[in-house]
A and B are shown apart, each in its own frame.
Chain A
C-alpha cells in the first residue's frame, strides 16, 4: 500500500464515524491545548527575562575584580628577605595566581583580547551635587562616552555626552527629583556643581587638625566643579553587578581633572594595599553574548574574579528547565487521558470492523497492512488534535494576555506578552500529539493485525 492510500483510508474510515472521531479528537485537542499553553507560558517567561536583559544590553558585559585574599605570586618575594617567625609558610604546591592590578595597562591588555569591544574602570567617588539651592550626596561614577551611548543607559531627556573630555554630566531622574526638579526636560542644559572631597595636607589643614574640633580634625578639604547636565536617565530598577549603577555620571577626561578621594565606602580603607593600588572593578564589554564565555575564561586564567550576567542567565535557564518539566508533567495529565480515549476508540473501531479486517486479509492484506491502516487512523486523530490543540492553546493565550494586560494596565504595568510560541513548540506540539496517538494506537493495532481471517469472515 502507498502512504497516500493509508492516509486516504484513515481519513475515510474516521469520517464514517464522525461523532466518535470528533469526541476523541476533542480529548486530544484539550490535552494538547493545555500542554501548549503551559509550555508557551514557560517560554514567555523565559523570553521576557532574556529580552529584558538583551534590551538593557547587559549580556555583553563582564565585571572584573581582583580575587579576595589573593596574594602576590610567591616568586615575586625577595628570596633573601627574612621570613617572620609567625608568618605561615607557603603550602607545597600552592598555585594561587598572583594578584593582577587593574590599572590602565591591564585595560590595554584586555582590549587586545579577541571579541572585547571596550573596557573601562568602574570608578566611583563620593560627592555632593548641587542644583540651584539643593544639594544631595551621591557616588559619582566615571563612565566613558561610549558606554553612556549604549543601551545600558535609558534616557528620559537630553543626550549622552559624546566625548570623554568635557565637564558634562548625566544624572538620574531620581537624583533630579531629590534635587527638586520633577521635569527632566527642563534640567537638560542646566549647570550642577559637583563638590568632591580630597586629602589635604596643606599648612592650613594641618593647623585645623591641630586646633580644630570634630570633622575639622581630619586632613580633608572639598573642591567644587561646575558641570552641565546633558542628559537625564532612568534609575535602574535593580542593583547587582550592573556596569552602570549610580545617580550621576561624568566622562573620564573630566574626572581626571578633578581632585577627589576615590572611595565608595569606609570598607575600601580595609582593602589590601595591592587592591587599593588599581581600580576596584573593570567592566569589559564584548561584541556578542556568545563571546562572553571565551573572554571570561581568559580573564579567569589571569586569576581574576569575573562576573557576567550571562552566567546568571545560564543558571536561570537551569531553573527554567525544571519549570518546563513541571509544566510538562501537568500538561501530560491531559494527554494521558486523551491517549486513553484514543485506545478506547481504536479498540471499538477494531471490534466493529472485525469482519472487514477478515475481508481485507482474504483479499491479500498482510498483517502489517492492517496494522498500518489502524495506526494511520490513530496518527490522523493525533495530527488533527495537535493542529487544533495548538490553535486552542494559542487562542487561550490571547484571551489570557488580553484579560491580564487589561487588568494590569490599570496599575500602570506595561503590556507584556505572557506567552511565547516558538516554531519548535508549534511543530513539537503537533509531532508530540501524533507520537502519543501512535503509541496509544499500538496495542489496538497489534490486536487488529492478529485477527484470524477465517474466524473474522464467520463473524457476524
Chain B
C-alpha cells in the first residue's frame, strides 16, 4: 500500500451475473493515484475501463477487493453513504454527457447542489459562475438539445465541479467530439485540475491526448491492469 496515494485499490474485482453466466469485468486491480495527479486509463472496448470508473465514482460496488479514497474505505459504504461520497468527493463526466434534457444548462449544472440542500438562489449563483468558468455564460438558459456537443460536455464539466469535488472522473469525455473540441475539453480539464487541485482520472482511447496531458497512463486488458506508464 502506498501511504501517499489518494486513491488506492487493492485486488479490486467486479463480477456481473446474468442468470447462470458470470462475467468478470474487472479482475484483481491494484493501483494507487496520487493527490492532484492526472491519470489516463486506456484499453480496448470491454477491457473494464468504465467498470473501474464506476467503482472509483461510487456508482457501483466491487464484488471483491478494496477501494479507498483519502484513506476512507469506499468499498464498505452503504447506499446512502455512497450517495454522499458522490455528492461531496467526486465529479463525473460521461461520453454521452448525461445532461437532463428538460433542464436548461444552468439547471443541469445546479442539479448536484439540489441534493446537497443548497438554497435555490445560491445554487443558481454558483452554477452561473461555473458556466462562466467553462465559457458558457451566454448559454445558461439553453437546453442540451440547443447546445453543440462541445458545449454540452462543458456543461457536464461545470456540473461535475459545482460541488467542489476532490476527484474528477471523466469516462471518455471526448468520445463524441471532434479532435479540435476534444483538445479544448482536455485542456479545460487540465486547467481546472491546476486551478482547483483536482485529482483527475480520465478514460480515453486517444493516446495522443493522454500522452500529452496525463501524468500516468494505465492500460487495461480483459479487466486487468497490463501496463502502468509514468509520463511525468
Contact = CB atoms under 8 A, between A and B. Distances in A.
Interface string A431-460: 000000000000000000000011001000
A362 B117 contact: no
Contacts of B54: 454
Interface string A1-36: 110110011000000100000000000000000000
B80 A366 contact: yes
Nearest to B91: A363
Given A361-B83, A365-B83, A457 B94 contact: yes
B80 A363 contact: no
A363 B163 CA distance: 9
B163 A454 contact: no
Given A1-B114, A1-B115, A364 B84 contact: yes
Interface residues of B, number: 27
Given A355-B98, A454-B59, A364 B163 contact: yes
B95 to A, nearest CB: 10
B60 A364 contact: no
Given A5-B120, A356-B100, A363 B59 contact: no
Given A16-B102, A355-B98, A454-B54, A363 B87 contact: yes
A355 B144 CA distance: 15
Contact of B117 (A2, A16, A358): A2
Secondary structure at the A interface, as helix, strand, loop or mixed, is helix
A5 B114 contact: yes
B144 to A, nearest CB: 11
A364 B79 contact: no
Contacts, number: 66
A363 B115 contact: yes
A356 B54 CA distance: 17
B188 interface: no
A438 B48 CA distance: 41
B86 interface: yes
B100 to A, nearest CB: 5
Contacts of A365: 83, 115
A369 interface: yes
Interface bin, chain A = 20 to 34
Contacts of A5: 114, 120
Contacts of B116: 364
A359 B86 contact: no
A361 B59 contact: yes
A366 B80 CA distance: 6
B138 to A, nearest CB: 24
B98 A364 contact: no
Contacts of B111: 359-360, 363
A8 B120 CA distance: 10
A107 B34 CA distance: 101
A416 interface: no
A369 B111 CA distance: 12
Nearest to A363: B112
A367 interface: yes
5 contacts: A1-B115, A5-B120, A364-B87, A366-B79, A367-B80
Given A367-B80, A367-B83, A454-B60, 10 more contacts: A1-B115, A360-B111, A362-B59, A362-B92, A363-B86, A363-B163, A364-B115, A364-B116, A366-B115, A457-B98
